[in-house]
Amino acid sequence: MIVKALTENGVTANESVTPHPPAKRKRSGFWSSVLQQKYLYLMSLPFVIWVFIFSYVPVWGWLMAFQKYKPAKSFSEQEWVGLANFKELFQDERFYLVLRNTLAMSILGLIVGFVVPILFAVLLNELRGSIFKRTVQTVSYLPHFVSWVVVGGIVYKTLSIDGGIVNDLLIWMNVIDEPIQFMAQGKYFWGVVTAADIWKETGWNAIIYLAAITGIDKELYEAAKVDGAGRIKQMFNITLPGIRSTIMVLLIMNIGHLIGIGFEKQFQLQNNLVTDYSEVLDLYALKYGIQISRFSYGTAISMFTSVVSVILLFTANGVMKKLTKESIM
């Protein structure tokens, strides 16, 4: 996520580190420099080709979205249909339902999934260097390491109507009289997905913020203490502003992922009763593209998702750059 900033910094940092001016070498021919750096080429070229095949060739496959692709024929024999697949896509009512689900879950995830880890990191930071802090931290990473298959099973178990702890607790506290069917009603699905995501990733996502907090100048806290600021005041006036740029960079990255939120959690948590709320773009592509072999239609969906993601990312980056001078590229 944060790596883009890394590459930029890396390139420039390296340039200034280089001790020898490469002016002389530049004058020598291209091939002699290749020969001289043959090991570097040998170590990178195979993987560059690899990346080309598995990351760039699929983009070339987008051409299929403008064809009526038949698996048995070769590429040149395919029938070109222009924008027919996109027309069909934008006329399908199901598509708008799926788009609504995707945006609803990603915006919920963006707001909640963004604020909670920051709060968690800031609170955790208040326990300076204790064993308790380390225990909480270790425990908080744990769910990150289990698969969505397992989390799906756990969520079904926890929210079940017979013996699920959530319903048991709510009944015990007299909040409800009858157990709620969380997994069988569409209106709960977005909330369940968001909550499951929070449970799984909060501790992990907080790592970055905790690291950023360590970088804040300790003298600022000392000065605040002398001025009589309490810890809560320090949290809001020093800690949060101190990690502002980290927050901004991650926010931009998350906005870029708004539409390509993935489908693992939706896939593992969905069931036939809630598909009107659980189906997201990738699942739609899977169901109406691959599983019934309408590859061109599926490609149009994939292409739509990818293009909108990139547009969102650049827009977010541009707006943030204007507003806050923070950017990732």
Partner 1 sequence: MAGKAFQMTKSERAFDIFLYVFLTLVMIVTLYPFLNVLAISLNESTDTVRGGIYIWPRAFTLENYERIFSYTGLIQGFKISLLRTISGTLLGLISASMLAFTLSRPEFRARKFVSVFLALTMYFSGGMVPMYILMRDMNLIGTFWIYILPGAVSAFNVFIIRSFMDGLPFALQESAKLDGANDFKIFYKIILPLCKPVLATIALFLAVGQWNEWFTTYLYNGNKAHLTTLQYELMKVLATTNQGSGMVNANDMAQQMAQISPESIKMAITIVVTVPILVVYPFLQKYFVGGMTLGAVKA
With contact defined as beta carbons under 8 Å apart, do 235 and 225 qualify? no
169 binds partner 1 (CB under 8 A): no
Identity of the residue numbered 105: M
> Minimum distance between the CB of residue 307 and partner 1, rounded to whole angstroms?
8
Which of the ranges 46-54, 82-90, 96-104, 173-181 carries the binding residues for partner 1, by CB under 8 A?
46-54
> Minimum distance between the CB of residue 268 and partner 1, rounded to whole angstroms?
7
31 binds partner 1 (CB under 8 A): no
Q: Which residues contact 196 (CB under 8 A, 6 or more apart)?
A: 151, 155, 265, 269
| Footprint on residues 267-286 left by partner 1 (CB under 8 A) | 267-273, 282-283, 285-286
> Minimum distance between the CB of residue 93 and partner 1, rounded to whole angstroms?
21
Q: Considering only residues 10, 191, 241, 318, which one is a binding residue for partner 1 as defined by CB under 8 A?
A: 10
188 binds partner 1 (CB under 8 A): no
Q: % helix / strand / coil in the chain, to the nearest 5?
A: 75, 0, 25
Give the single-character DSSP code of 289.
Answer: I
Identity of the residue numbered 15: E
32 binds partner 1 (CB under 8 A): no
299 binds partner 1 (CB under 8 A): yes
303 binds partner 1 (CB under 8 A): yes
Q: Considering only residues 108, 136, 180, 216, which one is a binding residue for partner 1 as defined by CB under 8 A?
A: 136
> Minimum distance between the CB of residue 316 and partner 1, rounded to whole angstroms?
12
Strand partners, 80: 67
> Which runs of E-coded beta strand occur in 100-164?
none
310 binds partner 1 (CB under 8 A): yes
Q: Considering only residues 84, 152, 216, 240, which one is a binding residue for partner 1 as defined by CB under 8 A?
A: 152
| Footprint on residues 72-111 left by partner 1 (CB under 8 A) | none
Identity of the residue numbered 31: W
| Footprint on residues 225-244 left by partner 1 (CB under 8 A) | 228, 230-232
Specify the residue for token string 């809001």. 236
Q: Considering only residues 290, 315, 318, 319, which one is a binding residue for partner 1 as defined by CB under 8 A?
A: 290
With contact defined as beta carbons under 8 Å apart, do 243 and 209 qualify? yes
Q: Which residues contact 2 (CB under 8 A, 6 or more apart)?
A: 208, 246, 249, 250, 253
> Minimum distance between the CB of residue 37 and partner 1, rounded to whole angstroms?
6
Indicate the residue among 126 and 276 with the shorter CB distance to partner 1: 126
Between the CA atoms of 296, 302, 303 and 307, what dihedral angle is there, to the nearest 10 degrees?
170
264 binds partner 1 (CB under 8 A): yes
Q: How many CA atoms lie within 13 A of 164 on its CB side?
A: 19
Which of the ranges 19-27, 81-89, 90-98, 107-115 carries the binding residues for partner 1, by CB under 8 A?
19-27
* Size of site (CB under 8 A) for partner 1: 118
Q: Which residues contact 303 (CB under 8 A, 6 or more apart)?
A: 62, 65
Indicate the residue among 194 and 246 with the shorter CB distance to partner 1: 246
Name the burial class of residue 238, with classes exposed (0-12), middle (13-18) and buried (19+) by CB atoms within 10 angstroms of its CB: middle
